[in-house]
Amino acid sequence: MENTKLNKLEKYWILYDVGNSAFVLLIATVIPIYFNSLAEEAGISPVDYLACWGYAASAATVIVALIGPVLGTIADTQGFKKPLFAASMAVGVIGCAILSFPRSWLLFLVVFVIAKIGYNASLIFYDSMLVDITTPERMDTVSSHGYAWGYLGSCIPFIISLVLILFGEKLGLSAHLAMTMAFLLNAVWWLIVTLPLLKTYRQENYVSLPARPVRSSFTRLAATLRDIRKQKHIFLFLLSFFFFIDGVYTIIDMATAYGSALGFDTQGLLLALLVTQLVAFPCALIFSRLSKSHETSRLLRVCIIAYISIALFAVQLDKQWEFWLLAILVGMFQGAIQALSRSYFAKIIPSEKSGEYFGIYDIFGKGASFMGATLVGIIAQVTGLPNAGVAVLAVLFVIGFIIFCKADKLNGRNA
């Protein structure tokens, strides 16, 4: 019988989700609202503000999507994964810490893009650590716990940040100083909770150190890209992941920007997204428990179908209470679909090439985010209607569902 208790290394790995999720929550709430205020001061219209935000989020993700496979392949080399993880995490932390310094909306976006590149790159190495810190039988559980505790833990610095931002004047703080303290708080939180993993992690699965590790990494990556076409179950899963995770990442990145463009109350948007985090915690743990008695593929199908319904509901969104309901529905399935996708992929790839494969995984994931955010921005600008861009997300979820069913069928034959 499987021991359900988490060991020390698994807990330390989960802590990184707790750390970086604080930054993710800022991206979903405070950062776009702060950018909105800078854009308004510069005379940027709501539609153009939403589009510029989408383009910035897209730029960060597409850059990491391009360099991710190379970094991931290098990280598979003995002794390389931890330093690369630490460096990318540091870029994200430092970028988060200095976000309040730029007073120009354009310079703010540049700093944001750099911070998000560091965050996205760190996830390539972090996700690939899953094969080193636990067994295949426990991957669903550990991955789900990562997202669950990430959602709950990120609420601690977020609530403190909200107090500083919403009640700063009563505390004798200027609006800018309150925002600066909030960004610094989340950066320090991210760094501190990462230290236990940096101290204890050891790379168990790796490729032996060659004479020329970087050149060798390019050679291995080229070979894998050729071979992956023969592993149809992996390729089709990645293709399905590209489509269904597109909607998930786009909703995460642009929910508050979308609400702001519709003219919803700022304080209500922040509190609604906090509700998403609180709902996501128990729901991710519920799916973790369900994964012990139900196939991962079946649970993923449920999550994708749920997101199709969520996207269709978001198209007609025009009232603040509907945004609250949307936040609750997203919270129910957001952690589950990400955690189960991560663990499902980790089970079907060679463990010694986890960094390389998760680098490719990142192309499909972050490439999808680029496409989704860009499409929302373009359609919103062309039609002048923020709601119009959301309609395309439902179509992408349907395509992802169809391809995933085919991929899982092939995976069953290869098992």
- Domain contains 214: no
**Residue 268 sits in a domain of what CATH number?**
1.20.1250.20
Phi, psi of 319 (to 5 degrees): -130, 150
Structurally, how many domains does the chain consist of? 1
The confidence band for 74, taking pLDDT boundaries of 50, 70 and 90, is confident
pLDDT at position 1 is 40
Q: Is the pLDDT of residue 217 over 70?
A: no
Q: Is the pLDDT of residue 69 over 80?
A: no
What is the share, in percent, of the chain residues with pLDDT greater than 70?
90
- Domain contains 374: yes
- What residue numbers bound the domain in which 144 lies? 8-204+230-414
pLDDT at position 45 is 81
Q: Is the pLDDT of residue 209 over 70?
A: no
- Domain contains 300: yes
Q: Which residue has the higher pLDDT, 344 or 395?
A: 344
CA distances from 208 to 212, 216, 359, 365 (A): 11, 11, 19, 28
The whole-angstrom separation of Cα 248 and Cα 391 is 14
Q: Is the pLDDT of residue 164 over 80?
A: yes
Q: Is the pLDDT of residue 9 over 80?
A: yes
- Domain contains 223: no
* Residue 326 host element (H or E): helix 320-348
- Domain contains 1: no
CB-CB contact of 43 with 362 (8 Å): no
Average pLDDT over residues 56-66: 79
Each residue's pLDDT tens digit, 87-119: 999 999 999 999 988 888 889 999 999 999 999
pLDDT at position 213 is 61
Q: Is the pLDDT of residue 399 over 90?
A: yes
Each residue's pLDDT tens digit, 219-277: 766 777 677 777 888 889 998 998 998 888 777 666 666 676 667 777 777 777 778 88
Q: Is the pLDDT of residue 3 over 60?
A: no
Q: Is the pLDDT of residue 78 over 50?
A: yes
Q: Which of 313, 108, 353 is nearest to 220 (CA)?
A: 353
What is the share, in percent, of the chain residues with pLDDT greater than 90?
34
Mean of pLDDT over the chain: 84
- Domain contains 197: yes
Q: Please state the pTM of the whole predicted model.
A: 0.77
Q: Which residue has the higher pLDDT, 315 or 135?
A: 135
pLDDT at position 275 is 84
The whole-angstrom separation of Cα 18 and Cα 6 is 15
Average pLDDT over residues 118-138: 91
- Domain contains 292: yes
- Domain contains 3: no
Q: Is the pLDDT of residue 48 over 90?
A: no
Establish how many alpha carbons lie within 13 A of residue 181's alpha carbon, considering only the half-sphere containing its beta carbon. 17
